[in-house]
Structure 1
Amino acid sequence: MYIIDFENIDVGYDERIILKDINLKIKDKEHFAILGANGSGKSTLMKLIQSQIHPRHTKEFKKEIFGKSRYSIFELRCNLGIITNDLHNYFEKEADYMSGFEVVLSGFYSSIGIFTHQDFTKEQIIKALEVIDYLEINDLKDKKVSAMSTGQLRKCIVARALIHDPKAFVLDEPTVGLDIKAQINFIKILRKLSLKATIILVTHHLEEIFEEIKNVALIHNNTIYKVGKKEDILTSENLSQIFDTQLKVKEKNKRYFIEEII
């Protein structure tokens, strides 16, 4: 089954086209990185995957998620674990009174906060505790968001998404704001999640592309410039093109990095 099956899609706002001729297929359990410069359209692609925006109907296209062209947003949210900086910032600013456990529990209703009209079953509470234990964040269960570091809150938000056992996780530049230690720890969590679900990582940092990610799509000139196996796509030539500067790409221990700017 394809998690994502997009063909010939244009998207934009008002009269302005942001992405054009988008063709992208991601299979179940096939881990993908979507790489592009700032302003290349990565965030727009994220919104397309989440069905926050929709293709233009000016030409024939195909847009299927989990093999369906029609689906409820709630169904989509259960099957897609979305981790964005916008969601993180919203919890940080609007829900700093919540505990880590409450952040995780809120995933059952996709809400920011826990409300009196929301009833949680014994099974749901057990599931939240199991997820916390699986991600090894028991130390955050009773900690308030206001007292958490950026990395700690990010882990709780991942746990919130994991509550539905999604088939795929979509992560938008997930290590932004994390220090080096927190980045390393967070990548370890992503590698653990890759054993359970498809990982779709949207980034402009090569260092975030961990070993289990085998496929890469490059966004450039408002479209998907190239897509394929990681070793074929992450070349000096390709990355120099999409970042508009001369780069030298190196690989060591199945991880890629920029050795120097030429």
Structure 2
Amino acid sequence: MNIIDFENIHVSYEVKPILENINLKINSGEHWVILGANGSGKSTLIKLISNDLYPNTKYPFKKKIFEKERWSIFDLKKNLGIITNDLHNYFEKHGNFLSAYEVVLSGYYSSIGIFKHQDFTEEQHKKALEVLDFLEISHIKNKKVQHISTGQIRRCVIGRALIHEPKAFILDEPTVGLDIKAQYSFIELIRKLSYKASIILVTHHVEEIFKEISHIALMYNQTIYKQGLKKELLNSKNLSEVFDINIELENKNDRYFIKSINEKD
């Protein structure tokens, strides 16, 4: 099954193009990174995938998610877990009265909070506990969001999506705001998650790209510059082009890092 099947997609705000000629095909079972500089179009691409944006130009196009052209937002979120910093921040500010357990349980209704009119079965409560255990946060299930760490909040938000056992996850800049230890721990969690569902990691940090990721889409100037196998495309030359600076990339033990950066001549 194709998770994403996009051809010739253009998106504009008024007359200004924000995505141009987007062609992207992601198959079930694959793990991808969408890599690019700030302003390259990554966030807009997420909105296109989540159906918060639609192609709005005269060009003929194909836009299918899980081989369907139309989705209700609620049904799409059951199949595609979308984890953004906006959602994290919303829970941090407006859902800080909730316990970790309630954040996860709220995923059944896609609500911010638990309400009296919402009925949960014994099986749903059991599933929420299993999700907390998988995410290694059972010990904070009764703690309020305002009293837990940034990394723990992010795990709760993932749990909210995981409750539906989606076929794929999109994670947007997943380690923002985390210290070095928490970053490492969170990437290890995503690796663990990759054995349950396909991962689409959206980032500008090569250090977040973990071993199981097999494919890459490089975004540059509001389009996908190159896409394909990570081992073929993730190199110094392509990164230097995408980020418009000379980059020397190294890979040790299947983890990538930038050895040096220099201004272009």
Tell me, yes or no, whether TM beats 0.5: yes
1:35-57 alpha-carbon deviations (Å, 9 max, x no partner): 00001110000000000000124
Q: Does the alignment pair 1:161 with 2:195?
A: no
2:27 match = 27
8 A Cα contact 2:63 2:69, kept in partner? yes
Query: Which whole-Å CA distance do the structure 2 matches of 1:222 and 1:189 have between them?
Result: 30
User: Does 131-140 or 169-178 show the bigger shift?
Assistant: 131-140
Q: How far is 1:234 from its partner?
A: 1.1
**In structure 2, what residue type is equivalent to 1:246?**
N
8 A Cα contact 2:12 2:57, kept in partner? no
Query: Which whole-Å CA distance do the structure 1 matches of 2:138 and 2:84 have between them?
Result: 23
1:79 match = 79
Query: Which whole-Å CA distance do the structure 2 matches of 1:139 and 1:156 have between them?
Result: 12
SS at match of 2:170: strand
Q: How far is 1:149 from its partner?
A: 0.9
2:127 match = 127
Q: Does the alignment pair 1:60 with 2:55?
A: no
Query: Which whole-Å CA distance do the structure 2 matches of 1:47 and 1:209 have between them?
Result: 22
SS at match of 1:117: coil
1:91 match = 91
SS at match of 1:241: helix
Query: Which whole-Å CA distance do the structure 1 matches of 2:96 and 2:233 have between them?
Result: 41
Q: Does the alignment pair 1:243 with 2:243?
A: yes
Q: How does 1:117-196 map to 2 (within 5 A)?
A: 117-196=117-196
**In structure 1, what residue type is equivalent to 2:168?**
A
Query: Which whole-Å CA distance do the structure 2 matches of 1:109 and 1:14 have between them?
Result: 34
2:234 match = 234
**In structure 2, what residue type is equivalent to 1:142?**
N
8 A Cα contact 2:84 2:171, kept in partner? yes
Query: Which whole-Å CA distance do the structure 1 matches of 2:13 and 2:110 have between them?
Result: 26
Q: How far is 1:12 from its partner?
A: 2.2
Query: Which whole-Å CA distance do the structure 1 matches of 2:122 and 2:206 have between them?
Result: 42
Q: Does the alignment pair 1:223 with 2:223?
A: yes
Query: Which whole-Å CA distance do the structure 2 matches of 1:57 and 1:218 have between them?
Result: 23
Query: Which whole-Å CA distance do the structure 2 matches of 1:62 and 1:116 have between them?
Result: 42
- TM superposition outliers: structure 1 runs of 4+ over 4 Å: none
Q: How far is 1:17 from its partner?
A: 0.8
Query: Which whole-Å CA distance do the structure 2 matches of 1:152 and 1:181 have between them?
Result: 13
Query: Which whole-Å CA distance do the structure 1 matches of 2:154 and 2:70 have between them?
Result: 31
SS at match of 1:126: helix
TM-score, scaled to structure 1: 0.98
SS at match of 2:165: coil
SS at match of 1:211: coil
- Among all aligned residue pairs of Structure 1 and Structure 2, give the percentage whose two residues are the same amino acid: 64
Query: Which whole-Å CA distance do the structure 2 matches of 1:74 and 1:145 have between them?
Result: 24
Query: Which whole-Å CA distance do the structure 1 matches of 2:140 and 2:83 have between them?
Result: 18
**In structure 2, what residue type is equivalent to 1:192?**
K
1:6 match = 6
Query: Which whole-Å CA distance do the structure 1 matches of 2:75 and 2:155 have between them?
Result: 23
